[in-house]
Amino acid sequence: MAGRPTSPAEIVNPAAVMTLAMIQSERWCLLDLGAEINQEHVVIQWCARRRLLRNCSTCGSCNLPKHVTNYAQNVESKRRKCRACNTTRSIRYQSFFSRSHLSLRQIIIFLYSLCARSANLGYRYQTCEQIPL
Ligand SMILES: [Zn+2]
């Protein structure tokens, strides 16, 4: 019974999805973060474990799980697909990243840099115009 392996319904094993307390207790430095998310498929898993992307999704028409499939035409090379009705949707759907054209890696590194700079300056949040050069 050989053949193509079926695509998974989840990005990562559901047991690997972190709790909010686990996420909040993490500490990263830019060097480690850059090494951790150095490939797009790894970034997708990294985001799913930290609840930045939905780990699984259900088709709104069929109420069946959508599977993660390869899709070369978008930046992550992955989409979710319903096997019953063949509809597809971005893995970024209903996430913070949904309207961006940057790669997930670019966004995470940018946000890390912004947060690190803000923390070093003693600010919790500032707009770009408020950060001294
Ligand atoms: Zn469907």
pLDDT, tens only, 51-95: 999 999 999 999 999 999 988 777 777 899 999 999 999 999 989
Inter-CA distances, 118 with 6, 25, 39, 110, 115, Å: 44, 18, 27, 12, 5
- Per-residue pLDDT averaged across 39-60, rounded? 91
Cα–Cα distance between 33 and 36 in angstroms, integer?
5
- Per-residue pLDDT averaged across 99-113, rounded? 90
Query: The whole model's pTM is what?
Result: 0.80
User: Is residue 51 within 8 Å of residue 17, measured between CB atoms?
Assistant: yes
- Residue 58 Cα to ligand 1 middle (Å): 8
Q: List the shell of residues around ion ligand 1, using CB closer than 5 Å.
A: 59, 61-62, 82, 84-85
- Per-residue pLDDT averaged across 112-126, rounded? 67
Exposure letters 48-61 (e unless 16+ CB within 10 A, then b): bbeebbbbbbebee
